[in-house]
Amino acid sequence: MATRSRSSFVRHAAVLLVGILGCERAPTAPTLDFRLVSLHDASNAGASYFYFLPPVGHQVSYSGVFDATASPEVRICEIAGSGCGIEVADMDMSSASGDERITVDAQNQLYETNWHSWRVPNYSSSKTRTYRIRVYVGGTLLGYADVWVGPSLPTIPIKFRLEVHAAPPPPPPAPVASFTFSCSHLACTFDGSGSTAQASASYSWGWGDGTPADTGKTHAHAFSAAGAYSVILAVTDGGGMDADTQTVTVTAPPPPPPPPPVAAFASSCTDLTCSFDGSGSTAQASASYSWSWGDGTPAGTGQTATHSYGAAGAYHVILAVTDAGGANAAAPGQDRVRQRPGRQLGDLRRQHRRQRRDEPDEQRRLR
C-alpha cells in the first residue's frame, strides 16, 4: 500500500517537473526580419543634430534640446549600386501618409513612423532586398540608414530625434560673369572686373583661337591672324559658375611704310653741255626725279637728264627724289662749266666772215 502511494507520488512529481521545464522553454516574441547595414546620422557623417534611434539606429546619448517643431519627411528607396534606384515609400506628417504618417512623441522626444515593407510594389519573396531610409527637413537630407529586409516583409518602426540647431547660412549667390575689351589690330586687352563674384573667385579665359586658356581677372592676348573670335570668360566661386561669351573682331596691322629714298647722281660736261645720271639713287621704281640746274632755268625731270648752260661758270645742281614713302631726299652738287679759248676765237672769225658777206659791193671796193 505504502509502495503504491510512493510510486504515484513519483509519477505526479515527474509530470509537474516536466510541466515546469516546459514553461521555462516557452518561445520569446519573434525578432523583426531586417538588419542594419550602414548608418549615417550625427554619429557618422550625417547632420550633427539628427539621430536614428533603435531599432533602425543605435542607442545614443545626446545633450541637445529636442526640436518638436520640425516637419520631417521619410523617403525610402531600393538600393541600386551605391545609390538609390526605385523609390518605394514617402512619408510625412500629413494625413495623406495614412497609417505610415510621421508623428511626434514629445514625451519621449522623438519622431516615429511605421514602414510596412510588405507594401513594396513588385516584391518577390524569393529574394531579399536592401533599402535606404532617408530623412529630410525642408528638402535637406539629414541622414540615412541602409537596411536589409528579409522575405517575411516586416513592418519596421522608424524612430529618430531632431535637436534645435542654428540654421545654416544661405548659399552664396551664383556669380555673374561680364567683361570688356579693347583691341589695337591683333593685340587686345580684356577686363573681367565688372563681374559680380566673391573675392576668392577664379577667372578663366578661352580665346577661341585654339591657344591655351589663361587665368586672372584681367588679361592681354594677341591673336595670330585677323578674324572674329568667340572669347569666353568663366567665373567660378562658392556660389557656382557663370560664363560670358562675346565676339571679338581683330584686324591685321597695315604694312610698314617704305624707307625714304636716298638721292645720288653723277655728272659729266663737255664745254657748256652736261649729262646727269641719278640711277645711283636708292628709291622705288615709281620714284620721280626732279633736277634743279642752278642757273635759273626751269627744272628738269627723269632719272637721267642733259642740260646746256648759257655761260661758263660754277653751278649748284640739286637732284630731288620722291617715292611712295612720301619722303624727299636731295643730293646737291656743283658743276663747273668751261668754254675752250680756241673755240671762242673761231667763233669770232666766223662772225666776221658773215658780216663781210652781208656788206654792199661799194663798201667792199672802198676797202
Q: Tell me: the pLDDT tens digits for 350-364?
A: 555 555 565 555 444
Query: Does 157 share its domain with 202?
Result: no
**Confidence (pLDDT) at 203:** 98
Place of cell 577661341: 208
Q: For residues 179 and 198, what is the distance between their CA atoms, to the nearest angstrom?
A: 16
Q: Is 95 among the domain residues?
A: yes
Q: Which of 234, 171, 172, 232 is nearest to 198 (CA)?
A: 172
Q: For residues 82 and 311, what is the distance between their CA atoms, to the nearest angstrom?
A: 114
Query: Does 222 share its domain with 276?
Result: no
Q: Is 10 among the domain residues?
A: no
Range of the domain at 99: 34-162
Q: Is 4 among the domain residues?
A: no
Give the count of domains, the chain: 3
pLDDT per position as a tens digit, 1-25: 444 444 444 444 444 443 444 443 3
Q: Which CATH number fits the domain that encloses residue 296?
A: 2.60.40.10
pLDDT per position as a tens digit, 278-319: 999 999 999 999 999 999 999 999 999 999 999 999 999 999
319 vs 337, residue with greater confidence: 319
pLDDT per position as a tens digit, 141-183: 999 999 999 888 899 999 999 999 887 788 899 999 999 999 9
Q: How many residues does the chain have?
A: 367
Query: Does 63 share its domain with 150?
Result: yes
Sheet holding 180-184, edge to edge: 180-184, 187-191, 218-222
Query: Does 60 share its domain with 141?
Result: yes
Q: Is 324 among the domain residues?
A: yes
**Confidence (pLDDT) at 308:** 93
Query: Does 58 share its domain with 110?
Result: yes
Q: Is 26 among the domain residues?
A: no
Contact 254, 216 (CB under 8 A): no
Q: For residues 231 and 282, what is the distance between their CA atoms, to the nearest angstrom?
A: 46
Query: Does 69 share its domain with 137?
Result: yes
112 vs 256, residue with greater confidence: 112
Q: Provide the whole-model pTM.
A: 0.43
DSSP state letter for 57: S
Q: Which of these three, 215, 250, 285, is where a domain ends? A: 250
Coil/strand/helix, residue 332? strand
